Amino acid sequence: MIVGIVGLGLIGGSIAKAYSEHDEHKCLAYNRTKETLEKAISDKAVDGPLTEENIGSCDIIFVSLYPEASIEYLKRMGSHIGKKPLVIDCCGIKGQICEACYALSKELGFTFIGGHPMAGRHFSGYDYSTKNLYQGASMVLVPEDLEDTALIERAKKLLEPLHFGKFTVCSADRHDAMIAFTSQMAHVVSNAYVKSPTAKNHDGFSAGSYKDLTRVAWLNETMWTELFLENREHLLFEIDCFIKSMQEYRDALYNEDAEMLKRLLKEGKDAKAEIDGVQ
């Protein structure tokens, strides 16, 4: 197949490397910085540039830019895409981009489905992309019509070379509510946690717990600011829930209430066991 990739960061670069592993696939790409595109071509991850002239020949087009930039790209290029390609975005939130792109696809005549590959690495950028990033990972698909099985199956077939382990189909709002909890909240907590003045002196005292909790504190602040603000309501709900729980722990400690503290800790342990299916 012919694969179009818009944006050669960690996500787009990994898509290119996965498809280009197979000689029968051809990858065309657009990237804002010419140097990155040239490097991807030199690496044989990409066969050439994605242009107005060839974008309509693609079987699938991945748009892996920030949400607002993705919408602007499709506004600019949508009329050149035509009916052949399936356009799928790779943004971390779905509400805003899906609303805009469902409308654009109708107006400009291309086929669109929202997408979110649930995979990442500690660092971002093309240099950290890898052909195996998506192997065994979950892929969330967000069609406008959740009953459009033909579109969903078409997307799954085109995505086969990425070797996802699971597909989840849901609405944009459900996706964003879940991502606020599973991803965005984890980044907020991790990023806030390392601001303690004690963190500067942790060497020699930290093990697995510290590493697990601080891993995602290292983030791309420009991208995550946009994602947080665009998912503001769902993320505020999770932050408020967390603050309420933390206040309960603080009160128990402040009042030296051992019974309360023990109850709170057991509630958390039991919640984790239930989530993980542990009897």
User: Looking at residue 267, which CATH number applies to its domain?
Assistant: 1.10.3660.10
Q: Which residue in the block uniquely carries the two structure tokens 């994602």?
A: 227
Residues 241 and 155 placed together within one structural domain of the fold: no
Residues 89 and 152 in one domain: yes
Residues 183 and 236 in one domain: yes
Determine the structural domain holding residue 203 and report its residue range. Answer: 175-276
Mark which of 170, 194, 209 sits at the end of a domain. 170
Assign residue 31 the CATH number of its domain.
3.40.50.720
Both 164 and 121 in one domain: the answer is yes
Task: Assess whether 179 and 166 both reside in one domain.
Answer: no
Do residues 164 and 30 share a domain?
yes
pTM, two decimals, is 0.91
260 with 197, same domain?
yes
Domain count, the chain: 2
Q: Which of 121, 151, 170 is the last residue of a domain?
A: 170
Same domain, 105 and 185: no
pLDDT tens across the length of the chain (279 residues): 999 999 999 999 999 999 999 889 999 999 999 999 999 999 999 999 999 999 999 999 999 999 999 999 999 999 999 999 999 999 999 999 999 999 999 999 999 999 999 998 778 899 999 999 999 999 999 999 999 999 999 999 999 999 999 999 999 999 999 999 999 999 999 999 999 999 998 888 888 899 999 999 999 899 999 999 999 999 999 999 999 999 999 999 999 999 999 999 999 999 999 999 886
> Is there a single domain that holds both residue 223 and residue 162?
no
End position of a domain, from candidates 104, 135, 170: 170
